[in-house]
Amino acid sequence: MKSIWAGTIGFGLVNIPVKMFSATRESDLDLDMLDKKDHAPIHFLRVNSNTGKEVAWENIVRAYKYEDRYIVLDPKDFKNASLEKSNMIEIESFVNEKEIDSIYYEKPYYLEPGKTGVRAYGLLREALEKSGKVGVATFVLRNKEHLVLIKPSDKVIIVNRIRFQEEIRDVSEFKLPEKTEIKPQEL
């Protein structure tokens, strides 16, 4: 299996070389759409909504809709906004795992120690396990900064990508019952 990222876990003066692997695999059935008549694959076109004509890739720009207008971004804008790639998962703090609500969990990854990091990897794993703590860290993967939790699980250290607070919907959007009267026998 090929790693998706290689770098180090860092905290204080400690740096542990690691490789990252996806801990999950998709199990969806990938279906193609075919023409019923001759089973030829269906292609999707990029079509201008005003003219109905196909638009070539070189004539497509990216934009952000703000209020009722589009703000077109050019390649320089993306370059200026892109995060500097880093090869470090930087642990910023340690917290009790129970303090993190499961709604924040997004995607797990496995970490494997590098050749020179086996002992330090084991030490970090054992310290996290014995303390009941998880490391809260940030790192850049594919030009996006991610917030992650670092936690032990059996023999491996898991990095769980978690969502930022602004990505969680407020429950006030839903029609939820107030306190419900429940009989003891129902409970």
**Residue 177 confidence class, pLDDT cut points 50, 70, 90:** confident
Judge residue 125's burial from the number of C-beta atoms within 10 Å of its C-beta, 0-12 exposed, 13-18 middle, 19 or more buried. Answer: buried
Instruction: Look at residue 182 and tell me whether its pLDDT is greater than 70.
Output: yes
Q: Give the tens place of pLDDT for each residue, 113-142.
A: 999 999 999 999 999 999 999 999 998 887
Cβ pair 9, 150 in contact under 8 A? yes
Reported as half-sphere exposure (CB side, CA atoms, 13 A), residue 127 has a value of 10
Q: With respect to residue 129, please indicate whether it lies within any of the assigned structural domains.
A: yes
pLDDT for the residue numbered 25: 86
Question: Does the residue 125 lie in any domain?
Answer: yes
Cβ-count burial of 134 within 10 angstroms (0-12 exposed, 13-18 middle, 19+ buried)?
buried
The answer to whether 158 and 121 have CB atoms below 8 angstroms apart is: no
The model's pLDDT over 84-109, given as tens digits with 9 standing for 90+, comes to 667 899 999 999 999 999 999 999 99
**Domain residue limits at 158:** 5-24+85-167
How far is 93 from 99, CA to CA, in rounded Å?
13
| CATH code for position 95 | 2.40.290.10
pLDDT the model gives residue 77: 81
